[in-house]
């Protein structure tokens, strides 16, 4: 089973697809977290002082 994944990872097309999906997921998480920033994202704790 391990040899199967090693042989699969040795292919350039598989590396490209896996890395593309990984970076796309990272970008989605960053865009999702960026949506929480801004003035309309709730009250900031120090605005009350």
The residue length of the chain stands at 49
Report the pLDDT value the prediction gives residue 49, as an integer from 0 to 100: 58
Distance CA(49)–CA(33), nearest Å, equals: 26
Write down the pLDDT at residue 48. 59
Cα gap 8→31, rounded to integer Å: 31
35 in helix, strand or coil?
A: coil
**28 pLDDT higher than 90:** yes
> What is the per-residue pLDDT for 32?
87
Residue 11 confidence (pLDDT): 92
Say how many CA atoms lie within 13 Å of 12 toward its Cβ: 0
CA–CA distance, 3 with 30 (Å, rounded to integer): 34
**Tell me, what's the pLDDT at 35?**
76
- The answer to whether the pTM exceeds 0.75 is no
């Amino acid at each position: 089973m391990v040899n199967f994944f090693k042989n699969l990872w040795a292919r350039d097309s598989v590396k490209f697809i896996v890395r593309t999906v990984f970076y796309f997921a990272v970008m989605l998480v960053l865009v999702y977290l960026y949506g929480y920033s801004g003035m309309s994202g709730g009250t900031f704790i120090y605005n009350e002082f």
